[in-house]
Structure 1
């Protein structure tokens, strides 16, 4: 059975929206949906706010109840019937994210065993046929095929195999 490693943030969990929610809470500035999904959040805020924004992800509650990326739940359920699925997240940078991410996965993807959840720093350690991720840096030493999942921060990144949503993942792998 082939293996698929799937990143969490900006692939199945919408952290981008959380940044916008917390920014609105702290600065009373709201960005239109189109603007949020057209560029990196850091590019939308003034430079003097960027260190505060970066700090959000270190907060205990940041990853607690993120919204699902549309279609991820259904397509991953279908992939699970044909592939061995691993959720691989570079969570070590944000140690406070570990428990909220485990709880989030248990809630939305209860059929994925804890043995198939990998918290790491460098994803090249992952032995899989495919890695679906929003950041090409994780493909550099990965031995399988990197599949770039389009996110606001990578729209201008050049990568051969790209999917824009979960329906495109379905078409590619099922």
Structure 2
């Protein structure tokens, strides 16, 4: 039986840090399902379909990784795909503090434990929110995101009238 992990997030936009976590997860599991979700507390820059497409392109060379849209609860998706684990990346203690209660709730709802993966320290400064902020102020983000993502971010900002 294949060991399946779900790697959830809003990925707005996908960063090199996200790709690193998925690569590390794939080394531990037979299949990694990247679940692009919608966070009700956030207004996304990129729509969910664009985020799915960008992430799928970024991992196209990684066998055993697929990207799906997660319309509802993570616990429901875990049951649907037969996940044995949820994988979340940690950059530091603040990430653990935020992720810990979610891990407990997901275990309560689905019986699936969360595996925390410490990402590459060279990428620890990269967060989607900071990438969006740098881009909003005209900064270069090409070295923080996979190929094609910077252009999608610039296009979205241009459409929203936010770029310089």
Q: TM-score, normalised by structure 2?
A: 0.45
Q: TM-score, normalised by structure 1?
A: 0.43
